[in-house]
């Protein structure tokens, strides 16, 4: 799978796209705080902490491990989204607690779609929502806004 990763794409390409595209531009694939800082220097409007499903970096740190450093580097200047490894509601809760503004869930809905079509996707999303609501209740966080780093264990602080 690593042959699908184009090493010729550089920050120069990002600069060119930013010059040509006047709309909002979000960059996916940020795993390091220095890259997050650079993305902001290039005028990007948001970033996605992602290892593209682990295809290129499956033995390195996971997106959830990279997330706190990237969030800190962004310092609220741009939205930080995260995807990769999100399989249950507790993963969503953890990502929000570590500062993600949004969480992408790719594979579980795809599994639901493959198994049962649209009803399968709806069932997966219902399960994820119930799991998020359940962990929020257990953690004493009545709203998304109340989820903070204090909501997760010492390992993540």
- Active-site residue list: 52
Taking residue 47's Cβ as centre, other Cβ atoms within 10 Å add up to: 24
Nearest alpha-carbon partner for 27 in 39, 11, 17, 37? 39
Non-local (6+) Cβ contacts of 9 within 8 A are none
Cα-flanking dihedrals φ and ψ of residue 18, to 5°? Answer: -60, -40
CA separation, residue 25 to residues 17, 22, 44, 83, 145 (Å): 9, 8, 5, 17, 25
Strands 46-49 and 26-30: parallel
DSSP letter at 8 equals T
């Amino acid at each position: 799978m690593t042959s699908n990763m184009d090493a010729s794409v550089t920050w120069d390409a990002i600069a060119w796209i930013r010059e040509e595209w006047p709309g909002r531009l979000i960059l996916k694939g940020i795993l390091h705080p220095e890259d997050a800082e650079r993305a902001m220097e290039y005028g990007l409007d948001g970033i996605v902490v992602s290892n593209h499903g682990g295809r290129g970096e499956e033995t390195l740190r996971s997106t959830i491990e990279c997330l706190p450093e990237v969030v800190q580097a962004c310092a609220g200047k741009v939205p930080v989204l995260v995807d990769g490894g999100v399989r249950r509601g507790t993963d969503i809760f953890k990502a929000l607690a570590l500062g993600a503004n949004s969480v992408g869930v790719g594979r579980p809905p795809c599994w639901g779609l493959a198994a049962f079509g649209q009803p399968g996707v709806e069932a997966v999303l219902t399960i994820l929502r119930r799991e998020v609501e359940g962990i929020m209740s257990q953690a004493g966080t009545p709203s998304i806004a109340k989820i903070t780093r204090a909501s997760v264990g010492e390992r993540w602080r």
